[in-house]
Amino acid sequence: MDVKEISEVIKYHRKISGLSRVDCAHLAGLGKTVIYDIEHGKETVQLRSLMKLLAVLNIKIELKSPLMKHYINEKG
Protein backbone atom coordinates (compact mmCIF):
# COMPACT_ATOMS: atom_id res chain seq x y z
CA MET A 1 0.00 0.00 0.00
CA ASP A 2 1.52 3.29 -1.11
CA VAL A 3 0.91 6.79 0.14
CA LYS A 4 -1.74 7.48 -2.46
CA GLU A 5 -3.85 4.54 -1.41
CA ILE A 6 -3.40 5.42 2.23
CA SER A 7 -4.76 8.84 1.43
CA GLU A 8 -7.79 7.32 -0.30
CA VAL A 9 -8.52 5.08 2.64
CA ILE A 10 -8.33 8.04 4.97
CA LYS A 11 -10.65 10.17 2.90
CA TYR A 12 -13.12 7.30 2.67
CA HIS A 13 -13.15 6.82 6.42
CA ARG A 14 -13.55 10.50 7.10
CA LYS A 15 -16.48 10.76 4.73
CA ILE A 16 -18.21 7.73 6.21
CA SER A 17 -17.68 9.22 9.64
CA GLY A 18 -19.47 12.37 8.55
CA LEU A 19 -16.55 14.58 9.43
CA SER A 20 -15.26 17.59 7.58
CA ARG A 21 -11.55 18.23 7.27
CA VAL A 22 -11.82 20.96 9.87
CA ASP A 23 -13.56 18.52 12.21
CA CYS A 24 -10.76 16.01 11.77
CA ALA A 25 -8.15 18.69 12.19
CA HIS A 26 -9.58 19.70 15.54
CA LEU A 27 -10.04 16.14 16.72
CA ALA A 28 -6.49 15.25 15.75
CA GLY A 29 -4.96 18.45 17.00
CA LEU A 30 -3.75 19.39 13.54
CA GLY A 31 -4.24 22.18 11.08
CA LYS A 32 -6.71 21.83 8.25
CA THR A 33 -3.93 22.13 5.72
CA VAL A 34 -2.30 18.90 6.82
CA ILE A 35 -5.53 16.97 6.52
CA TYR A 36 -5.84 18.31 3.01
CA ASP A 37 -2.24 17.37 2.26
CA ILE A 38 -2.56 13.86 3.63
CA GLU A 39 -5.72 13.22 1.64
CA HIS A 40 -3.85 14.32 -1.46
CA GLY A 41 -1.06 11.84 -0.92
CA LYS A 42 1.59 14.34 0.08
CA GLU A 43 4.60 12.32 1.15
CA THR A 44 6.36 15.06 3.05
CA VAL A 45 3.90 15.22 5.91
CA GLN A 46 5.17 14.22 9.30
CA LEU A 47 4.59 10.69 10.44
CA ARG A 48 3.07 12.13 13.60
CA SER A 49 0.39 13.94 11.63
CA LEU A 50 -0.56 10.77 9.81
CA MET A 51 -0.68 8.74 13.01
CA LYS A 52 -2.89 11.29 14.74
CA LEU A 53 -5.32 11.28 11.86
CA LEU A 54 -5.39 7.50 11.68
CA ALA A 55 -6.12 7.35 15.40
CA VAL A 56 -9.06 9.72 15.04
CA LEU A 57 -10.48 7.58 12.24
CA ASN A 58 -9.85 4.33 14.10
CA ILE A 59 -7.47 2.95 11.48
CA LYS A 60 -4.56 0.76 12.50
CA ILE A 61 -1.23 0.25 10.75
CA GLU A 62 0.33 -3.14 10.17
CA LEU A 63 3.63 -4.05 8.62
CA LYS A 64 4.02 -7.11 6.43
CA SER A 65 7.14 -8.83 5.18
CA PRO A 66 8.64 -12.28 4.72
CA LEU A 67 10.56 -11.74 7.97
CA MET A 68 7.69 -10.58 10.14
CA LYS A 69 6.90 -14.06 11.46
CA HIS A 70 10.48 -14.43 12.68
CA TYR A 71 10.26 -11.04 14.32
CA ILE A 72 7.07 -11.99 16.10
CA ASN A 73 8.55 -15.31 17.19
CA GLU A 74 11.69 -13.81 18.65
CA LYS A 75 9.82 -10.98 20.27
CA GLY A 76 7.26 -13.28 21.84
Partner DNA sequence: TCCATTTTACTGTTTTAACGGTAAAAGTAA
Partner DNA sequence: TTACTTTTACCGTTAAAACAGTAAAATGGA
CB of 56 to its own copies, least distance (A): 12
Tell me, what amino acid is at 50?
L
Separation CA 72–CA 32 (nearest Å): 37
For DNA, the binding residue among 46, 51, 55, 68 (CB under 7 A) is 46
By the rule CB under 7 A, 20 interacts with DNA: yes
CB of 30 to DNA, least distance (A): 4
> For residues 48, 49, 55 and 60, what is the CA-based torsion angle, rounded to 10 degrees?
-70
Separation CA 30–CA 9 (nearest Å): 19
CB of 41 to its own copies, least distance (A): 10
Q: Give the footprint of DNA on residues 23-42 (CB under 7 A).
A: 23, 25, 29-34, 36-37, 39-40, 42
